[in-house]
Structure 1
């Protein structure tokens, strides 16, 4: 069943935290995403609001929360959000409602609410949870077709009937700001006589969107329906699945391995599915020329509201300031999040609490929606030229790539996800 809109989505609601009311703010009072921060007094759970963080442990000590809201805040106040993922949806809703009331303009408990605020600038963000597993999908038709075209081949037909994916390396998923150390591996340079072990010469980014799953999932051997898949979605984040193209292109017989396992960056804040309820749009659907959805991936509600209207942008800073090089939208994906989850479990693989999935490169039809450098440069044939004249075929040491997201819907306050960024560091000695 779709999440119903409630008072927390009210576009007229404002906060006494002035920065939350500013135009373009990622974290207005309608958002209230969860994360883990440390301001020098230990890592603990919090909620972003404007340029501040609501310290949930401090709020609990003040007595400002009670009942189901207090129980949920207790789960969310730890140094990892795994327990929060296990609470019932109505408990999470109770906490969001309580926080929305506490931090609204005219709050009856403003003094207690203010005491629990921490300046975001004074805090370091941690991983919100440790992923039980990480699966990276490939769900953009435009990305798949461009990559095939660049390689001079036809794509495997499976992409039109199922959401293609690989099981990634959960241990190398890291929070925004983690240095991107250029990996080493086997690469077959053009004109060479064989592979060489070397620093990756073709380091790329991929603008992606991610979702954290709540538990419990399915036992080994059992499947997950589309309706259950939707219920397992806890919240979303931004993802950059950094790609070592030279290593990747040489090694891909079974699928990606070292070309993808050195680092995946995520944004630190988890925007709940409840907060995203106003931004749901119809799923991609299929044309008469495309294969019909198989029954296990087809659901009337997913057709009506399985997509998300979330604009994603990427900015590249080569030393002279950031320049936007990508603007795309999650709504253009060929597959929905629920379809990804249902397919992941269709063979009986157990889904677990705090599983993380990513959409793969979120490329759209427009040139500005090419969401990685391989697409932008057509595999190096057309270098990217920035406004200051700088050229890039692939990322160089010292470059910083930052991804941002913005959920949009007429009549509602836009909400964001914070930044998902990383700076390239030179390869370490072998």
Structure 2
């Protein structure tokens, strides 16, 4: 494995086999693209201009989002990563590169992608089964279509926000089963959904489906994602057309986008699909990702969902999303849906952890336990995966604090 000359980076979760992209700024400067190495950000554009003042990559990296770079396509992504690894791995580049390393503590981080469209899937069999049992006790937990296609819905791109952005408690209509008529007010059952997001770099032509095996040609990388959910608003509105205001008020994503190349050692077999999916979904070829997630509430770890248990693969979700001819655009974001495993402490939502609010969790941390989010609560999602260098790498964490309704 290539090693790095950057002090403190070797052996860390942000070693040279990681190198996630983000958008940063320093006081008085415009936001631009950088790469994280250890506890530093490499300011990419000026380093690229050292070798080529007219560099196309430098021009793309001077913009305030990753979109211009991602739109250049897969060959550019791979070329850029190889160059960055060389610059940060070979001592010969140290003298002229080091001045462009900025301590992470000295920068502000921004939403890394200008989000074009946002789609959220429902790809965990364990999460879908838990939700089915909570809301439809005594019935089949999965609806008839669930194992034939990746179920999803279109979200609201304009409310995707960067990690650390406060989340204002939403207001809306809600009607409890014991109430005769609906009322209006702040959500009483505000929840999280620990998910993984996939960022589209290369678009596609309207009317032309994207094949399952074209996934690496279109998807640039992954982000941590929290799809905040108002369960009471959602429960009242979702019949017959599905999620709407209970989901569209905020979706938080990490500041760092981990490129697919950094996840080369994380691909793994899916748990198994039965019945066999239709051919366009690539049955027998689909792979999942071995990514561990931690859900942290007010400083305490309350769940550890494993992404490797997901039923539908990232490539299958992309193929299904475009099979009707829907086009992809640079900056499209699609999410996995809540990540949940087989065990009670692997559930990726408070709805599941508290079993619909009936069984408080975390009694070892809080007297009486917890069910749904309270004002002032802070949730942190952390992600790690096997790295190509033999250790582990960290994906960007996702932080959100709940503010009172306005």
Report the TM-score range of the alignment, normalised by the length of the smaller protein.
over 0.9
Alignment partner of 1:191 out of 174, 178, 181: 178
CA contact (8 A) 2:376 2:403 kept: yes
Q: Encode CA deviations 1:102-154: one digit per residue, 9 max, x unaligned.
A: 222x5102111111111111111111111110000000000011101111243
Q: What is the CA distance between 1:46 and its match in structure 2? A: 0.5
Unpaired runs of at least 5, structure 1: 1-9
Residues 9-408 of structure 1 mapped to structure 2, 5 A cutoff: 10=1, 13-22=2-11, 25-40=12-27, 41-61=29-49, 63-64=50-51, 70-104=55-89, 107-151=91-135, 152=137, 153-154=139-140, 155-219=142-206, 221-253=207-239, 254-286=241-273, 290-298=274-282, 302-303=285-286, 306-317=287-298, 322-390=299-367, 391-408=369-386
| Distance (Å, rounded) in 2 between the aligned partners of 1:43 and 1:98 | 22
Distance 1:112 1:410, change over 3 A: closer
Residue 393 of structure 2 corresponds to 415
| Distance (Å, rounded) in 1 between the aligned partners of 2:58 and 2:262 | 17
Q: What is the CA distance between 1:385 and its match in structure 2? A: 2.2
**TM-score, normalised via structure 1 length:** 0.89
Residue 4 of structure 1 corresponds to none
| Distance (Å, rounded) in 1 between the aligned partners of 2:58 and 2:295 | 33
| Distance (Å, rounded) in 1 between the aligned partners of 2:388 and 2:196 | 22
CA contact (8 A) 2:290 2:308 kept: yes
| Distance (Å, rounded) in 1 between the aligned partners of 2:65 and 2:186 | 34
CA contact (8 A) 1:316 1:324 kept: yes
Q: Encode CA deviations 1:321-344: one digit per residue, 9 max, x unaligned.
A: x11111122111000111000000
Q: What is the CA distance between 1:281 and its match in structure 2? A: 1.2
What is the number of equivalent residue pairs in this alignment? 400
| Distance (Å, rounded) in 2 between the aligned partners of 1:299 and 1:405 | 27
| Distance (Å, rounded) in 2 between the aligned partners of 1:380 and 1:159 | 25
| Distance (Å, rounded) in 2 between the aligned partners of 1:310 and 1:77 | 31
| Distance (Å, rounded) in 2 between the aligned partners of 1:410 and 1:55 | 24
| Distance (Å, rounded) in 2 between the aligned partners of 1:357 and 1:119 | 31
CA contact (8 A) 1:177 1:421 kept: yes
CA contact (8 A) 1:59 1:65 kept: no
| Distance (Å, rounded) in 2 between the aligned partners of 1:386 and 1:423 | 21
> 2:221 aligns to what SS in structure 1?
strand
